[in-house]
Amino acid sequence: MRQFMTWVKTNAESAVALLLAIFISVLGVVDLVPSDLIAKVIPLTLGVIAFAMLRERWRQETSNADLHRSLLSSNADLHRSITSSNAELHRTISERLSMVAGVRIAAGIEATEALAKARAETDRWIFKGGTGTHTRVVTLPACARAADEQSRTLSIRMEIIDPSDAGLCERYAELYRNLAEDANDHALTWTGKGTQIESFATILAACWYKQNYDHLLDVHVGLSSTLSTFRWDLSSTCLIITQRGPQFPAMIVDRGRPHYNSWDVELKTSFGESRKVPIDDALRGIRLGREPGIPVVRKMFEQGNVPLPDDYEDADVADIIQKALHDRDPYVGGAGDNLTGTPARSFAG
């Protein structure tokens, strides 16, 4: 009975039309109502039936629209769920592969951010490669600021090519000229003398930071007689290996991985084989100040057993001072960039 009443409530128009048709039919059969009245009632009955049909069609269309919206919403939720699951699966697989390989690959801004993070969380920095331009311009100042702000000590060890070996510097410049990718590559401007100046500038910067942050920084410089296109930056949290600037992907090895310990030993061994710059001897009786003068810088290199070539003019020494203390990030300025306005000589990392 309850189901019947529910049906009647839901289909009221149809029920009324049905009852009206039955009632009029019965009256017509028993001849209690004139035939002309029955004829007039028939259109009314048909109208009720038509209204019921229209209302049912509208209800069906509304139901279909609701179902369509529900399906669209479900499909969107399903798509988001699948996309999220795929992204999570990709991330998990990447993490697992990185754990197996022990090496992460980073490029562009990701590599730059990795270097910045490594500088912020370390108590030591070991560099090997090229002329140390990026280390001189970015790493040394950043490490000095971090050590000063956090009142902590920091050990810095740099191994760069020997600027006293003119032949080595020329071969280094020639190597990068040969690796130039096109006619617009700034590596084509590199020269042996420009490479020397970059290395001399790194030595001067190391001495300057050693003297001005002596209570915080323990700085050592070694001079190498070999060439490489790779650069190694090792902190207490990771090792980052780069090559020829930010356009090439970097390899990152986190501390605790076998490769990290192996490279730590390798870099220590390589530095042990390099020719050391006696920074304490170089700075004996010398005050570099905020902006060292040309005679002071000449004397510093002489005492540090890395004398400047005899043909170096005061303009060359001024160029070294400029690069040591005021140069821009080579990854921003590009190869061969020179702030002094003189012809571009070289950029090397």
One domain, residues 94 and 181: no
One domain, residues 150 and 251: yes
The pLDDT of residue 336 is 34
For residue 314, what is the enclosing H or E element?
helix 314-326
Does the pLDDT of residue 287 top 70, yes or no? yes
**How many domains does one find in the chain?**
2
pLDDT band at 95 (very low <50, low <70, confident <90, very high): low
Amino acid letter for position 186? H
pLDDT band at 191 (very low <50, low <70, confident <90, very high): very high
One domain, residues 119 and 77: no
Is 210 a member of any domain? Answer: yes
Q: What is the pLDDT of residues 27-70, one digit of tens each?
A: 555 555 566 655 655 665 656 565 666 666 666 767 766 666 77
One domain, residues 111 and 78: no
Q: What are the tokens at 320?
A: 């070294």
Q: What is the pLDDT of residues 234-272, one digit of tens each?
A: 999 999 999 876 667 899 999 988 889 999 999 999 999
Is 176 a member of any domain? Answer: yes
- Residue-range definition of the domain harbouring residue 23: 1-101
Is 346 a member of any domain? Answer: no
Is residue 83 within 8 A of residue 239, CB to CB? The reply is no
* Domain end point (choices 51, 66, 101): 101
Segment 277-287 mean pLDDT: 96
Question: CA–CA distance from 179 to each of 74, 106, 184, 190 (Å)?
Answer: 55, 22, 12, 11
One domain, residues 200 and 285: yes
The pLDDT of residue 339 is 31
pLDDT band at 98 (very low <50, low <70, confident <90, very high): low
One domain, residues 159 and 69: no
One domain, residues 229 and 320: yes
One domain, residues 89 and 128: no
Domain containing residue 196: CATH number:
3.30.870.10
One domain, residues 17 and 74: yes
One domain, residues 71 and 135: no
DSSP 188-241: GG--HHHHHHHHHHHHHHHHHHHHHTTTTEEEEEEEES---SEEEEEESSEEEE
The pLDDT of residue 185 is 78
Is residue 175 within 8 A of residue 229, CB to CB? The reply is yes
Lowest mean pLDDT across 33-47, 52-66, 172-186, 210-224: 33-47
Is 214 a member of any domain? Answer: yes
The pLDDT of residue 107 is 82
The pLDDT of residue 348 is 45
pTM for the full predicted model? 0.68
Q: What is the pLDDT of residues 111-128, one digit of tens each?
A: 889 999 999 889 999 999
Instruction: Determine what percent of the chain is predicted with pLDDT higher than 70.
Output: 66
One domain, residues 39 and 141: no
Is 348 a member of any domain? Answer: no
